[in-house]
Amino acid sequence: MTTQQKTQSNINWDKVGDFILSFFRSFYYGIKEFKRFFKNDKIHKVSLFAAFNLFVFSFFYSRTLHFFAARHLNGWPSFKLHEYLVFDVNQFVLGFTGLALFYLAFIFFLGACYAHRKKKYQNNLNMLGIKNGNGDSPKVLDITPCTPGRDKIIVQSPGIPKEKYTTDGAFNTMNMAFGGYIESIDEIVNKKQVEIFLNKKPLTKACNYESVKMELTDDDSFIVGQGHSGVVTQKIAELPHLLIAGTTGSGKSNCFRQVVMGLLDSPGRKRIYLLDLKNGVEAQIFKDFPNVYISKEIETAVSLLKDLKEVMDDRYKFLERNRRNQIDPLRDSRDRIIILIDECSVLFDKSPANPQEADYTAQARSLVDSLAKLGRAAAINLVFATQKITKETLNTTVQENVEGRFAFAQKTLAGSLNVLGNKRALDIPKIKGRCIWNSFASYEEVQVPLISEKYILKRAEIEIENAKQREKFPTREEIHLRSMGRKEEAVIDGHKEVKQNGACDG
């Protein structure tokens, strides 16, 4: 035998070996899948299984197959019912053999499907070209369907850190390669494995604020949007500051409003300050809410920021006196203060029209800087909305303290890099309200809920009525707060004028 013939025969034997191995492997996978079927909701599934077995058994027992065959071969008259009603040992054997063969075929089919899925995921993973120091690629170990359209993929990944999967390029390629959305990638360190959650359900193209607002159960929280795995909400205290960025028409103002409304609809004591210096239109809709204060001019905005800085300094003194490190609004009878600045580039404009404005913008920058740096412990949070993020529109100190970002579509790579530090804001589908939500190290595509003016106005009416009732019948806590006559209260009450000015102007 020549060497070539030998090689040829080896290859054939390899193929035969592979075939036999994959044949038995299919049974093994099939049994695993079969067992998995009974994991949850056992009683229902076992009864269903028993009924199904009875059906398959009687199918073979009554020789229905035979009946069909006979009918086709010899025509209708060949079927005689009495033949099938007579007890016959052979028929039992036939029933059980049929049942066994059916399950063998079924388990093989299940296993083959699983093996096919596993191979597909392995190929997807190979496409990423991730390798460890020895040149080994990660290996798909197991796939578990969690809910319809959502899979958990366990990957053996020795010597490959999680970061290799989450880098910008790998993450995007992975989303494309797997043909779905990677919800999360977690490292199981002691097993040298990585757990990937893949969602294949497309994200909703529209979401309504009123249909998701019941998710606002945490204190001072807002709706982020409808994500692949459900409605995402966020407590503002955890961030502590928030950024909304996107090109014109991408849905920033709607997002800004729904965040304000979310904060108002969620439980917890808070006061909301809206600085809307572009034209004041966006904020005006909230003017009737008793705990919302609006500022439309740079002059009032700067004086408000100064007062809030004073409040912050006061709170720090309070914390020092009481040996505490953080204001808890409920425990310390102090409102959470949330300052929202729409089109913040106007407030930080470095090319103002006159020296007076230049002075105001310089002051605004430095005040916002210190509020951003120290606000967290004093229960003061900031929200910025802007089209572009540059040093000119938002100070670097402020940017460093922002841990929550709504990144709507960006037109340029630089724009995306500035908001997210990667290019994901470039690849967002062109759907209004679609954005990448980035909090700390996680990135998630979400559909931000659309909020209607009608809803906001209706809620304002209810709040006014509630405030009147509280004025008439104050709670003990409110009486206590009023009698304290703290400087903080006086400062904040002073800004009711700002609110009224805003209301009159509007």
Ligand X SMILES: Nc1ncnc2c1ncn2[C@@H]1O[C@H](COP(=O)(O)OP(=O)(O)OP(=O)(O)O)[C@@H](O)[C@H]1O
The residues of the shown chain that bind ligand X, judged by CB under 6 A, are 206, 246, 248-254, 387, 432-433, 448, 450
Residue 81's SS3 state is helix
Interface with Mg ion (CB under 5 A):
252-253
Residue (169 or 249) nearer to ligand X, CB: 249
**Could you tell me the two tokens for 357?**
């404005």
Residue 196's SS3 state is strand
CB of 296 to Mg ion, least distance (A): 15
- Whether residue 317 contacts residue 487, with contact meaning beta carbons closer than 8 Å, is answered with no
CB of 279 to Mg ion, least distance (A): 10
> Which amino acid, one-letter code, is at 131?
K
CB of 281 to ligand X, least distance (A): 10
- What does the alpha-carbon distance between residue 137 and residue 30 come to, in Å, rounded to a whole number? 26
- Comparing CA positions, the residue from 414, 416, 466 lying closest to residue 443 is 416
CB of 277 to Mg ion, least distance (A): 13
Residue 278 touches which of ligand X, Mg ion, none (CB < 5 to 8 A by kind)? Answer: none
CB of 252 to ligand X, least distance (A): 4
Phi-psi region of 23 (alpha: psi -120 to 50; beta: other; left: phi over 0): alpha
DSSP state of 410: -
Residue 433 touches which of Mg ion, ligand X, none (CB < 5 to 8 A by kind)? Answer: ligand X
- What does the alpha-carbon distance between residue 102 and residue 113 come to, in Å, rounded to a whole number? 17
Residue (227 or 246) nearer to ligand X, CB: 246
Residue (228 or 287) nearer to Mg ion, CB: 287
- Comparing CA positions, the residue from 460, 415, 435 lying closest to residue 223 is 435
Residue carrying structure tokens 């990135």: 443
CB of 445 to ligand X, least distance (A): 13
Q: What Cα–Cα distance (Å) separates residue 323 from each residue in 315, 317, 320, 327?
A: 12, 10, 5, 11
Residue (253 or 361) nearer to Mg ion, CB: 253
Task: Give 196's Cβ-side CA count (13 Å radius).
Answer: 29
Residue 254 touches which of Mg ion, ligand X, none (CB < 5 to 8 A by kind)? Answer: ligand X
- Comparing CA positions, the residue from 215, 216, 179, 185 lying closest to residue 199 is 179
CB of 452 to ligand X, least distance (A): 10
Residue (70 or 431) nearer to ligand X, CB: 431
**Could you tell me the two tokens for 148?**
């319809």
Residue (230 or 355) nearer to ligand X, CB: 230
Residue (138 or 246) nearer to ligand X, CB: 246
- 10 Å CB burial of residue 1 (0-12, 13-18, 19+) is exposed
Nearest residue to the partner ligand X, using Cβ:
433
CB of 246 to Mg ion, least distance (A): 9
CB of 363 to ligand X, least distance (A): 26
Residue (252 or 434) nearer to Mg ion, CB: 252
CB of 374 to ligand X, least distance (A): 30
**Could you tell me the two tokens for 339?**
């300052």
- Comparing CA positions, the residue from 88, 42, 24, 33 lying closest to residue 61 is 88
CB of 204 to ligand X, least distance (A): 10
**Could you tell me the two tokens for 123?**
């190929």
Residue (368 or 446) nearer to ligand X, CB: 446
**Could you tell me the two tokens for 223?**
């709706």
Residue 432 touches which of ligand X, Mg ion, none (CB < 5 to 8 A by kind)? Answer: ligand X
- Comparing CA positions, the residue from 125, 110, 103, 105 lying closest to residue 49 is 103
Residue 434's SS3 state is strand
Residue (26 or 233) nearer to ligand X, CB: 233
DSSP state of 56: H
Nearest residue to the partner Mg ion, using Cβ:
253
- Binning the chain into helix, strand and coil, the percentages to the nearest 5 are 55, 20, 25
In degrees and rounded to multiples of 5, residue 249 shows phi and psi of 85, 5
Residue (244 or 380) nearer to Mg ion, CB: 244
Helices H, strands E: what count in the chain?
Answer: 19, 14
Residue 51 touches which of ligand X, Mg ion, none (CB < 5 to 8 A by kind)? Answer: none
Residue 301 touches which of ligand X, Mg ion, none (CB < 5 to 8 A by kind)? Answer: none
- Comparing CA positions, the residue from 226, 219, 260, 224 lying closest to residue 403 is 224
